[in-house]
């Protein structure tokens, strides 16, 4: 009986330690994301000026008469993931328009506009509608932007009416990273993970993690 009681106590302590450890690492990850978002303007400026040198070989940098401007439309549904049971589910519906410039055969830097987006929150919480503006960097695995795998990162500033659950700001930052495939010169598809929060510009800043699929058309 004594051994059973001791084992029961050890199990409780072990589970408590694991729970605290998970919360500890989750807290560190959230602090890192918030710190990066708070530096988003500096990051975008650095990417704008140095990405063609960082992500390209010396012989790959585009000449003015070779690399072209690219226009792209995207429709993207995303779903809230990784939240606790007491938090509400949510769906982000967004459309974006990119004005991009090829920096090399493998990289494109774009101004990203979100003319309209909506976020549906379950329960009695008001839904959101707004717009956004930011930047996106796309890196292709091959020296060919017309077919093959690519990765993409973006940072977008969101302006909206109403508020996200646990967030008291009407200005938020939408950070995203994804992996996609270019089927041809026009069509592509992208699986992406994103995080939305206000980077602590307001007191309440419960971040929202989303997983989404983007379907894009370039012309």
pLDDT of 11 over the 60 cut: no
- Secondary structure of 88-117 in HEC code, one letter for each residue: CCEEEEEEEEEEEEEEECCEEEEEEEEEEE
* pLDDT tens figures, 45-63: 555 555 545 555 545 555 5
pTM (2 d.p.): 0.74
Q: How high is the pLDDT of residue 26?
A: 54
* pLDDT tens figures, 28-39: 655 555 555 555
pLDDT of 212 over the 90 cut: yes
Question: Rounded to whole angstroms, how far apart are CA atoms 39 and 137?
Answer: 16
**Domains observed in the chain:** 39-218 (2.40.160.20)
Question: Rounded to whole angstroms, how far apart are CA atoms 79 and 90?
Answer: 6
How far from the centroid of its chain's Cα atoms is residue 99's Cα? 18
Q: Which residue has the tokens 């993409």?
A: 152
Q: How high is the pLDDT of residue 155?
A: 94
């Amino acid at each position: 009986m004594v051994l059973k009681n001791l084992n029961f106590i050890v199990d409780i302590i072990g589970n408590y330690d694991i729970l605290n450890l998970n919360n500890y690492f989750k807290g560190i990850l959230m602090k890192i994301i918030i710190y990066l978002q708070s530096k988003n303007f500096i990051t975008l400026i650095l990417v704008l000026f140095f990405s063609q040198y960082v992500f390209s070989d010396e012989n790959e940098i585009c000449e003015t008469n070779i690399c072209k401007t690219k226009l792209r439309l995207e429709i993207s549904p995303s779903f809230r993931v990784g939240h606790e049971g007491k938090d509400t589910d949510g769906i982000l519906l967004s459309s974006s328009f990119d004005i991009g410039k090829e920096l090399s055969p493998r990289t494109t830097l774009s101004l990203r506009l979100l003319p309209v987006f909506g976020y549906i929150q379950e329960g009695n919480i008001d839904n959101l509608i707004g717009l956004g503006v930011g930047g996106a960097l796309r890196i292709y695995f091959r020296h060919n932007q017309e077919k093959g795998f690519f990765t993409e990162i973006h940072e977008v500033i969101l302006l909206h009416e109403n508020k996200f659950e646990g967030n008291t700001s009407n200005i938020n930052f939408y950070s995203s990273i994804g992996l996609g495939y270019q089927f041809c010169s026009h069509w592509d598809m992208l699986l992406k993970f994103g995080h939305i929060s206000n980077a602590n510009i307001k007191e309440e800043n419960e971040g929202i993690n989303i997983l989404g699929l983007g379907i894009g058309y370039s012309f």
